[in-house]
A = this chain, B = another copy of it.
């Protein structure tokens, strides 16, 4: 599991006085950085080879500005050329949102998916979600 402390910002709120739902995909993509680094250690944008095929987010409770906020990031599934990232937003001991991103290992020039190298599969598997702990 990777954990990132997120700083909530006034501009993240909406007129209902909570964090706007559209921030969660932004926080989740930000918290996938350590996973991006497994594929591209220097985050070299000129040879990026991960794309997002699908995401979902479930909103469990209202998120508040000014509260300690954490995003927890797990690997949910490792396939041949794609894998699932399962993430949660927590505030003060409460799970506020959760969701899964389906990432594809992708060859940008050839416009096709590629097998995930075994060494990276091994690294991803160290972060596989333990269903018992959840």
Q: Taking A25-B25, A54-B59, A55-B57 as contacts, is the C-beta distance between A30 and B14 under 8 angstroms?
A: no
- Which residue of B is nearest A57, CB measured? B55
Which residues on the B side are within 8 Å of A56 (C-beta)? Answer: 54-57
Q: Residue A53 at the B interface, CB < 8 A?
A: yes
Indicate if the CB atoms of B21 and A25 lie closer than 8 Å: yes
A66 to B42 Cα, complex, angstroms:
8
- Which residue of B is nearest A20, CB measured? B11
Give the interface size bracket for A toward B. 35 or more
Mark interface residues in A1-35 (1 if CB within 8 Å of B CB, else 0). 00010110111011111101110011001100100
A42 to B59 Cα, complex, angstroms:
25
Indicate if the CB atoms of B15 and A22 lie closer than 8 Å: no
Q: Residue A52 at the B interface, CB < 8 A?
A: yes
Indicate if the CB atoms of A15 and B10 lie closer than 8 Å: yes
A-B contact pairs, 14 of them (CB 8 A): A4-B7, A7-B33, A10-B33, A10-B36, A13-B14, A15-B65, A17-B45, A21-B25, A22-B22, A22-B26, A43-B65, A45-B65, A53-B59, A55-B57
Q: Which residues of A contact B (CB under 8 A)?
A: 4, 6-7, 9-11, 13-18, 20-22, 25-26, 29-30, 33, 36, 42-43, 45-46, 48, 51-59, 65-66, 108
